[in-house]
Amino acid sequence: MRQIILDTETTGLEPSEGHRIIEIGCVELINRRPSNNRYQQYIDPGREIDRGAMEVHGITNAMLAGKPAFADIAKDLLEFIKDAELIIHNAPFDLGFLNNEFSLMANGTAPSRVEDFCSVVDTLKLARGMHPGQKNDLNSLCRRYNVDNSQRTLHGALLDAEILADVYLAMTGGQTGLFEETHSHLRNATASNVVAPTDIRRFDPNRPKLPVIPASAEELAAHQAWLDELDKKSGGKCVWKKIEVAS
């Protein structure tokens, strides 16, 4: 199962008012594990950034001088996200901007909507269902699930995507801490759309082998019954059953 955690930064709040995307950040998960495959791109929007937006993400007009237009990076972006399940916090916002950018492309080759070639999970909607009546913005979810967001002094598409990956995995399975070692350098990431992975810490090859105790037939049956119950209660959205089918 391939999932893409996606976030954008923009010149303002409404594409209907002519606002555009200025940064896209994506993190790839394969079967709920990070692949070290990421995508980041700064974009020249062809217009000024609103002061209010600039105060949120810290991206200035000067920083975008000489960066490619959206149409120039659209093919690479499509290849990266196509056929994946997109994980987005407040998905209507980002999808609205992405679909607007594709609609503005003049070559007639753009897809009509991102939703036509990607499935989408809105983590804001998911969080509201899990925690009704509580704050469910990304910072609040970080506090709730003990995800380190200390580097998030300003918003950034790639940084927020990596933080959201930790939050999403904690929300849906209790797995956290995938990207703590990478957060500290993301604010200094270059404009290159490929971000180098961190060094891998390897185990001692001479360490004693761990004993493997296989599950009994009764345990396997109980596990399958529990997955079936989870799948029923979630309306067919049990992630572990999807992984079993994919593998």
The residues spanned by each domain of the chain are: 2-188, 217-246
Candidates 3.30.565.10, 3.40.605.10, 3.30.420.10, 3.40.190.10; correct CATH number of 2-188?
3.30.420.10
Whether the predicted pLDDT of 192 surpasses 70:
no
Q: Measure the CA–CA gap between 27 and 11, rounded to whole angstroms.
A: 22
What average pLDDT score do residues 195-204 get? 50
Q: Measure the CA–CA gap between 37 and 4, rounded to whole angstroms.
A: 10
Per-residue pLDDT tens over the stretch 138-150: 999 999 998 888 7
Catalytic annotation on 89?
Answer: no
* Cβ atoms 94, 7 nearer than 8 A: yes
Q: Report pLDDT for 153.
A: 62
Q: Report pLDDT for 202.
A: 56
Q: Report pLDDT for 78.
A: 92
Q: Which residues contact 46 (CB under 8 A, 6 or more apart)?
A: 20, 69
Per-residue pLDDT tens over the stretch 56-104: 888 999 999 999 999 999 999 999 999 999 999 999 999 999 999 999 8
Say which of 19, 131, 155, 183 is annotated catalytic.
Answer: 155
Full-model pTM: 0.68
